[in-house]
């Protein structure tokens, strides 16, 4: 009997993160969740809970080590769900955001997921070639939409930068059974979801992405109950 697959969810908030964890668990996965409130023990649901500091990219490898120590295998699915933004100290003054603030948020939005992808690809090299390996980044429309709102600057910079490396990685590794996705939920009319993200919609779609079903491209725009939808 094949061992249960493993998912590592980096950023396990009460909406998307929690729904994604529950869906993968019910789909037969062993689940590890990492957050600022991680305990290093099992949750009531049976997940491995890990403490994480996504502002410190150097802390990411230890999370993969902890998963391997607990489950004796690497995660075949990695979901990066953490995100950060910093409002300008001077309201509506874009350039009052300091270099330190920008750096911290860029670490959370781009550098830490990059390190997580490095760790995943390194671990996947030892897995059978026919094993499906998947990295999913919870994105939004800011990689393709400019919002003239200073508060959104750090988040938009991070999402845009991450979308670029995710698309590049997918183009280079997809032929090896490794997929990278920038997942972006929309309304049916194509409008961005903003703060109205649907956790269950993400969960359903992410399980589909982990199965590499439907020939979904790296820029995985989706709609609740419909899955991937290509928007112009």
Q: Write the CA distances from 228 to 25, 133, 173, 198, 204, integer angstroms.
A: 22, 19, 21, 15, 11
Per CATH, the homologous superfamily of domain 6-228 is NAD(P)-binding Rossmann-like Domain (3.40.50.720)
Cα 15–Cα 223–Cα 191 angle in degrees, nearest 5:
95
Q: Which of 82, 170, 159 is nearest to 121 (CA)?
A: 170
Average pLDDT over all residues of the chain: 95
Distance CA 183, CA 108 (A): 17
- The pLDDT value recorded for residue 194 is 82
User: Which of 30, 104, 159, 193 is flagged as catalytic?
Assistant: 159
Read off the pLDDT of residues 117-149 as tens digits, 9 standing for 90 and up.
999 999 999 999 999 999 999 999 999 999 999
Max Cα separation, the chain?
A: 59
Say whether pLDDT at 2 is over 60: no
Task: List the helix and strand counts (H, then E) for the chain.
Answer: 6, 8
Domain residue extents for the chain = 6-228
> Can you give the pLDDT at residue 1?
33
What pLDDT, on a 0 to 100 scale, did the predictor assign at position 81? 97
Question: Is 129 annotated as catalytic?
Answer: no
Q: Say whether pLDDT at 10 is over 90.
A: yes
In DSSP terms, 180 is beta-bridged to 135
Say which residue, 40 or 156, is predicted with more confidence. 156
Residue in this structure with the two tokens 């750096």, named with its chain if needed: 103
């Amino acid at each position: 009997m094949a061992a249960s697959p493993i998912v590592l969810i980096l950023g396990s908030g009460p909406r998307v993160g929690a729904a994604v964890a529950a869906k993968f668990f019910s789909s037969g996965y062993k689940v590890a969740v990492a957050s600022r409130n991680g305990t290093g023990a099992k949750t009531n649901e049976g997940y491995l809970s890990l403490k994480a500091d996504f502002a410190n990219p150097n802390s990411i490898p230890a999370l993969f080590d902890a998963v391997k120590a607990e489950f004796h295998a690497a995660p075949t699915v990695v979901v990066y769900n953490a995100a950060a933004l910093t409002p300008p100290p001077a309201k509506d003054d874009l350039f009052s955001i300091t270099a330190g603030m920008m750096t911290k948020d860029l670490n959370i939005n781009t550098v830490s997921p990059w390190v997580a992808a490095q760790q995943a690809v390194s671990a996947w090299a030892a897995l059978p070639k026919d094993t499906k390996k998947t990295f999913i980044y919870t994105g939004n429309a800011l990689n393709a939409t400019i919002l003239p709102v200073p508060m959104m600057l750090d988040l938009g910079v991070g999402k845009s930068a991450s979308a670029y490396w995710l698309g590049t990685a997918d183009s280079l590794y997809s032929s090896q059974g490794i997929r990278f996705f920038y997942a972006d939920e929309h309304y049916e009319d194509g409008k961005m979801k903003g703060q109205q993200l649907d956790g269950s919609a993400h969960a359903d779609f992410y399980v589909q992405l982990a199965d590499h079903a439907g020939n979904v491209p790296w820029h995985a725009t989706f709609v609740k109950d419909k899955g991937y939808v290509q928007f112009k």
